[in-house]
Structure 1
Amino acid sequence: MAEDCIKIDTYKETSHDGRYAMRKEFTFHTFDGTGLYMVQDVTALPKAAVVIVHGLCEHLGRYEYLTERLNEQNLMVYRFDHRGHGKSEGRRVYYDHFETISDDVNAVMDRVKNHNQGLPVFVIGHSMGGYAAACFGARYPGKADGIILSGALTRYHTKCAGELPLDMPADTYVPNALGDGVCSDPAVVEAYNKDPLVEKEISVALLNSIYDGVEWLKKNSFSFIDPVLILHGANDGLVSERDSREMFGDIRSGDKTLKIYAKLFHEIYNEVEKDEVIDDTILWIEKHLS
């Protein structure tokens, strides 16, 4: 799988000891040749690599603070825009097969593991990215050293897009109405709604592919055996915390942890209490570095 370098920037970390890190931006061509925009934040002496998988309609740039916090702990971070999202290629916000999104995660993981042999690799997936990471874990067990699911859509209890599947042409687009529910912090909601890289419409094909994937995941969660940390906001109005509770009960991981945060909305990594969530994430990763 070829890749094209876009640019490499050197920047100074905001950590107390003044470490320097390197940011690399490049296009990675996934399993079917689609170009995915990727960013790698390299630390000098990385203890592990972390792949961040973003949610529906958003992009990798919304995970800058989480990346900085991980870098401070010498965790190298890779992020990519899903196909049809952000700066990646592909038909906008469109999937016609549920396997595609987790196959992209798998291709990215192969790239990261091949370039960092011997280094533990973890996955953090949020919302639709959590769904992608959960499907990846069930379809490709044993590839990740650990998986963190944040507000992951794994059972579709909230039905924020209505009853699925939608009986409409696949190339029909519906408005992105997620904005007000993403976070309890009005500033985060305002930034989300004004962000030009946040997609404003969602294809019926993508929504129906998620339906197919969730139905598959419900029947195949027993295939998920990797160490996993499942995190969810108790007041998440977009993806019910019941999704995470049921996923936790159904998987066969011998090493699994579930934490539901009181009062937090959907984007727990952007809530006012985000540092508590990130601290819990880092602590869990540190415990799994062996």
Structure 2
Amino acid sequence: MSLLQTEERLMDSPKRTESTDIQSESLKVKKELNTFFIGVQQTSKVTRKYIETSSHGIQLYYQEFTPEFIDAQIIIVHGFGEHSGNYKQLTDCFLLNNFKVHLYDQRGFGFSGGIRSKATIEEMHMDLQTILDQIDKSIPLFIFSHALGAAIVISFCLMNPQFSIQGLICSSAQFRVPSKYGKMKMITLQMMAKICPDLQINTYHNLSFASKNNHHIRKLATDPLMNPFMSIQFALNVLLFQQYILPNANQFQIPILILHGKQDKIASHLDSVDFYIQIQSKEKTIKIFEQGFHEMHNDSEWPKMKTIITQWCQKMLIKEIKINYLKQYNHGVLVQPYRSKIRLLTSILLIVLRKKFSCLKTSTQLSLVIFLELLLRIFISQ
């Protein structure tokens, strides 16, 4: 049986627990490996397996690439609708610079288990902790995150202020719901999240917004692991990120490199600029690419982006940055409660209706107040 057939069987296997040693000098191996095998030119060991999560028995598809010499390690967190296989060039870049690379498909995406695009923020934070538990704590750690993956990692860091790493790299971070959706759609979203959170909707994601590279767009269009559907619950996550990350950005202190394209029509570069201005990190850098689209790591900006990332990581490795892991992590986000706002709106309604309200019995008045408050809770997120 050829190596290609063996690897294909490995990829189709539900276990995928084997570790495969790859000799980088073997031309035969290079030619026969399929498209899922990335980083073969620079790595001496590749491990693919499923790892258990702490919720609902779901397993995450995990890949680990180990170079011959290790100076640091990095976790790559992908964005919405995609999977870890979309980061081949990035993985090769880090391996060339002696970084041990950890990739995983988030629950509901790629090869990982779970209902497609339905995870809550709490579950995604728990999955990130699962990956953190896999790594060698003695090696300096970086995290690369893209789009909604950046929102997941940043919110995780904000919820755990004592957690500290060597550096965080954010690419095309998505912190807000696109303005085109408007307030009425946001209100409708909050109502539907209470009624039918499992409902899947088509995002009608325009693949041409991802990259200027037509070859890459064709690849995305034919990739069976790409998922354009989003559950109501997952859409609510984006709204919660909007209500949590930017209002609490001044509490963020981890060294960070922010990369964003000015032509990004999926996540606005202005949000990244806003976040950069507010954060309190002593080491913070932002680079806006004038012609950059959403996936700059798969576009013409990649050579320059690669240089910026490499130089920044080397700079952070020289600095004495304290890395701190926690025994227990907080999950989910704490959005500021709107209870006072609900009380205020209830009072306004009662003032407007005071004449009719005063004619009612005490028990009826109490019931009406409770009803009004419950009604307002439907429209205002807690």
Q: When the two structures are superposed, what TM-score results if normalisation uses the length of structure 1?
A: 0.90
Partner of 1:125: 145
| Residues 147 and 159 of structure 1: CA distance in aligned 2, closer, same or farther (over 3 Å) | farther
SS in 2 for 1:288: helix
The partner residue of 1:274 within 286, 302, 324 is 302
Q: Over alpha carbons, which structure has the higher Rg?
A: 2
> Amino acid of the residue matched to residue 17 of structure 2?
I
Higher helix share: 2
Partner of 2:111: 87
Moved more, 266-275 or 47-56: 266-275
1:103 CA displacement: 2.9
Partner of 1:153: 174
5+ unaligned residues in a row in structure 2: which ranges?
1-14, 26-40, 319-382
Provide Cα deviations, 1:72-111, integer angstroms capped at 9, x if missing partner.
111110000000001111111102x323223322331232
SS in 2 for 1:238: coil
- Equivalent residues of 2:48, 2:64 under 8 A apart: yes
| Residues 19 and 254 of structure 1: CA distance in aligned 2, closer, same or farther (over 3 Å) | closer
- Equivalent residues of 1:106, 1:136 under 8 A apart: no
1:176 CA displacement: 3.6
The partner residue of 2:209 within 181, 185, 189 is 181
Moved more, 86-95 or 135-144: 135-144
| Residues 236 and 12 of structure 1: CA distance in aligned 2, closer, same or farther (over 3 Å) | farther
Moved more, 66-75 or 134-143: 134-143
- Equivalent residues of 2:148, 2:173 under 8 A apart: yes
Separation in 1 of the partners of 2:261 and 2:164?
27
- Equivalent residues of 1:106, 1:140 under 8 A apart: no
- Equivalent residues of 2:177, 2:238 under 8 A apart: no
What does 1:7-22 align with in structure 2 at a 5 Å threshold? 7-13=18-24, 20-22=43-45
Are residue 143 (structure 1) and residue 164 (structure 2) matched?
yes
Partner of 2:363: none
The partner residue of 1:101 within 121, 124, 128 is 124
**Alignment coverage as a number of residue pairs:** 280
Partner of 1:251: 279
Moved more, 241-250 or 165-174: 165-174
What does 1:1-290 align with in structure 2 at a 5 Å threshold? 6-13=17-24, 20-32=43-55, 33-95=57-119, 97-112=120-135, 116-141=136-161, 142-159=163-180, 163-164=185-186, 166=189, 167-168=191-192, 169-178=196-205, 179-290=207-318
Higher strand share: 1
- Equivalent residues of 1:158, 1:237 under 8 A apart: no
> Amino acid of the residue matched to residue 189 of structure 1?
I
Separation in 2 of the partners of 1:160 and 1:196?
28
Separation in 2 of the partners of 1:53 and 1:262?
24
Separation in 1 of the partners of 2:258 and 2:54?
28
5+ unaligned residues in a row in structure 1: which ranges?
none
% identical equivalent positions: 26
SS in 2 for 1:24: strand
SS in 1 for 2:292: coil
Separation in 2 of the partners of 1:13 and 1:262?
37
- Equivalent residues of 2:257, 2:284 under 8 A apart: yes
SS in 1 for 2:317: coil
| Residues 257 and 156 of structure 1: CA distance in aligned 2, closer, same or farther (over 3 Å) | farther
SS in 2 for 1:124: strand
- Equivalent residues of 2:178, 2:266 under 8 A apart: no
Separation in 2 of the partners of 1:110 and 1:248?
29
1:221 CA displacement: 1.7
| Residues 160 and 234 of structure 1: CA distance in aligned 2, closer, same or farther (over 3 Å) | farther
